[in-house]
Amino acid sequence: MLIFGLGATAISVAIASWGNYARGWNFPTSVSLLLAALLPLAWTLVLLVAKDWSLQGLQTEFSAEKKQLGQVLLALALALQALWILAAIAIACSTRLGQLATLLISFGAFLLGLSSDSLFGGPGREKTLAKLAYGITPNLQFHWLADALSLGNPASGFYLLLVSGYTILFICAILCLATALFEGKEIG
């Protein structure tokens, strides 16, 4: 896995460096585009090659050790929804803040979102400030199925629908805030 992933990264950096030097390409953009193309290819190669370097089917890793492909895909769909929430937060922040502040707030929202249950939902949750913080912070624990799957607790399609509804409502609220923040901002 490391060989394919690091190899794709090294190839991307090497090609982008050459393109920047010889062709005048923008280095960060070139690396990003090359990684977007090569990392899925590397992941496919990881799925195709077994631990003993023999070829295997693409579904083998998903069905090994009694893991079901449907549960893994459900977990991936929920993780993607968590990324959508973080992207909406980044969009809202970028309407008024610079790049570094947007990155820091997005990272803070990620950390708070993964620990919001333990930080704001514990014994002090009856306090007004804790309720407000719990309501504002995205609860990304809903989107994190790795713990449940590793313990052998499957998730249902109904759970996906519930979390998808939460995600849609949260994203709509954040994007409405982004629209309100962007209104009146001078562009130019």
The per-residue pLDDT for range 56-113, each reduced to its tens digit, is 877 776 666 565 777 888 888 999 999 999 999 999 999 888 899 999 999 999 998 8
Nearest-CA neighbor of 38 among 59, 3, 7, 79?
Answer: 7
pLDDT at 25 over 80: yes
Which residues face 55 on adjacent strands? 49
Report whether pLDDT(175) > 60.
yes
- In three-state secondary structure terms, 55 is strand
- Across the range 103-125, mean pLDDT stands at 82
**pLDDT value of residue 138:** 86
Confidence of residue 2 (pLDDT cuts 50, 70, 90): confident
Work out the mean pLDDT of the chain and round it to a whole number.
85
Domain coordinates of the chain in residue numbers? 1-58, 63-188
Sequence-separated (6 or more) residues with CB below 8 Å from residue 59 = 69
Position 163 pLDDT exceeds 60: yes
- Chain centroid to Cα 188, Å, comes to 31
Tokens representing 88 are 């909406």
Measured between alpha carbons, how far is 171 from 185 in angstroms, rounded to an integer? Answer: 21
The mean pLDDT of 40-59, rounded to a whole number, is 83
